[in-house]
Chains A and B, each alone.
Chain A
């Protein structure tokens, strides 16, 4: 485990210095700061619109960071031959891959914490009357987002063991979109009685294969004060467990592929 953490630490150090990521982070922070200033709606409306807007910014930029962070991770190591020195030490390939993944997730966590902090601070300053309920909600939702992004990072790391970065970018991005936005579309297809069997089996297969990213989108409970998640803590715990299981499967599969691959 020593080697795994050493590699993870190095990966974080590298990630937080990558210009592309810093630019994305900067843009996200800027949006989070500027958004509350666009105060054209009535107080009640504006709070709803604003929370959904800033949480959307947070989620989208986290997803972009998660993908950009991971798709180039392994190819870069190979291209720059840094992986060779590491693998010539007593380090097994799975340890290397795990270290890389943990590093990516660590860097992601840092960046998301920064965004979340900024978001809450600015929100509290602009919306003086915001309830503490709302503020803790704003702190809680990103935790689920983080689990979601860890899952997304695992998807990208899995793909990166056998496809090129650009392909991976679209693959992982596609999986994320299918798992969040189009999830309901596929469930409609599989429930529709009039469609042919093939389409139903196909969409069932997709729903079964693609991680259920949508279940981490818990922002509605904060945006619409009315809607609540029943037994919230249990739900969150379940989501974390689902994430860990799915991530483990993806990483194990990635390790098996990476172990056989020529680098």
Chain B
């Protein structure tokens, strides 16, 4: 595989108070192939932005190696071939969209007014590029950011939380643009904690938590292994106890059993034993594993609980909430 990004044992430690160090990126081994849409997922504070900044040479790694497009991270020649959309970016607000494009173009020595306008049209700002950016909505600002990131026709794009804080429509617009990049063969490195977006556009993902990769691979592989939910009535305690096993969630209340098992589990024999005991099977619902499940699995459910207690890591909290409501719908 021709690699666009490669890191080997990348470490970033910030000096904490009293000399103790906080390791924010911990022995990170990443491989992103050329032409891939790569999702870099993790809760807030996981170290996503830090990793991207190291890959861009904006900050230095404490140890380890990082290569981007065949060069060392931060190489100025490599910067001609990539672009970066920071998290919650801000642009000089007094400028109009077009002025902003001219400014960024001049950093590449590009003096192509037509190209600036064409790119602004491409991100649906064709009618607004003469308005000052201070009048743009968040979504428009993000789109002007994407437009400027295309000025140098980059081979590799770093998008840090590109849909963060945007409404659903803006979400979709940004996603469609990223899908276009994919058709053009660009490599896109997207960091996000919003799983639903990434799920549909990424070829591969890495899940990072506390600076460490907890899962990495092709989405279809990571998402393999769904669950099946069986509901039955007229179940007694003995049956309940018999069904208890690791990797199963068994719950019984006033005769109604809800059983959550892996789809690799022996569904048939469970059904057989239920039926022999005259229990009434109400439903069998297969559930494909969603990225949310994977995320929570990888990041650790107890971590989520702890985060909730401390009132931090709200994104993970949200992810859990979403999962719960969806489960209710399924029942």
Contact = CB atoms under 8 A, between A and B. Distances in A.
Given A90-B80, A263-B58, A263-B59, A84 B107 contact: no
B310 interface: no
Contacts of B148: 85
Interface string B313-326: 00000000000000
B90 A88 contact: no
A9 B82 CA distance: 24
Contact of A82 (B79, B83, B90, B152): B90
B103 A10 contact: yes
A90 B107 contact: yes
Interface in A3-43: 3, 6-7, 9-10, 13-14, 17
Given A2-B109, A84-B58, A90 B79 contact: yes
Nearest to A6: B106
Contacts of A82: 89-92
Contact of B104 (A14, A85, A87, A92): A85
Contact of B103 (A6, A81, A92, A262): A6
B107 A6 contact: yes
B87 A81 contact: yes
Contacts of B84: 84-85, 88
A89 B86 CA distance: 12
How many A residues touch the partner, as a band?
20 to 34
B94 A90 contact: no
A85 B89 contact: yes
Most buried by B among A6, A14, A84: A84
A17 B86 contact: no
A91 interface: yes
A18 to B, nearest CB: 10
B166 interface: no
Contacts of B247: none
A91 B103 CA distance: 13
How many B residues touch the partner, as a band?
20 to 34
Given A2-B109, A3-B106, A6-B106, A92 B91 contact: no
Given A88-B79, A89-B108, A17 B94 contact: yes
Interface string B55-86: 01111100000000000000011011011111
Contacts of B82: 88
B200 interface: no
Contacts of B79: 88-91
Nearest to B149: A85
A67 to B, nearest CB: 22
Contact of B76 (A7, A17, A81, A92): A92
Contact of A81 (B86, B104, B107): B86
Contacts of B56: 84, 87-88
Is the contact region of chain A dominated by helix, strand, or loop, or is it mixed? helix
A260 to B, nearest CB: 8
B306 interface: no
Is the contact region of chain B dominated by helix, strand, or loop, or is it mixed? loop
Interface in A83-120: 84-92
A104 to B, nearest CB: 15
Contact of B95 (A13, A85, A263): A13
B58 A81 contact: no
Nearest to B95: A13
Contacts of A17: 94
A262 B59 contact: yes
A80 interface: yes
A110 B145 CA distance: 31
Contacts of B288: none
A144 to B, nearest CB: 32
Interface in B89-134: 89-92, 94-95, 103-104, 106-109
Nearest to B102: A6
A14 B103 contact: no
A90 B103 contact: no
B88 interface: yes
Nearest to A16: B94
Nearest to B81: A90
Contacts of B58: 84, 87-88, 263
A81 B106 contact: no
B106 A2 contact: yes
Given A81-B88, A262-B60, A86 B94 contact: no
Interface of A: 2-3, 6-7, 9-10, 13-14, 17, 80-82, 84-92, 262-263
Q: Which 5 A-B pairs have the closest CB atoms?
A: A88-B84, A6-B106, A80-B90, A89-B107, A84-B86
30 contacts: A3-B107, A3-B109, A6-B103, A10-B92, A13-B92, A13-B94, A14-B92, A14-B94, A81-B86, A81-B89, A82-B89, A84-B53, A84-B56, A84-B58, A84-B84, A85-B85, A85-B86, A88-B58, A88-B79, A89-B83, A89-B104, A89-B108, A89-B152, A90-B77, A91-B76, A91-B79, A262-B59, A262-B60, A263-B58, A263-B59
Given A84-B53, A88-B79, 18 more contacts: A2-B106, A2-B109, A3-B106, A3-B107, A10-B103, A13-B92, A80-B90, A81-B90, A82-B92, A84-B89, A85-B85, A85-B104, A86-B107, A88-B84, A88-B158, A89-B107, A91-B79, A262-B60
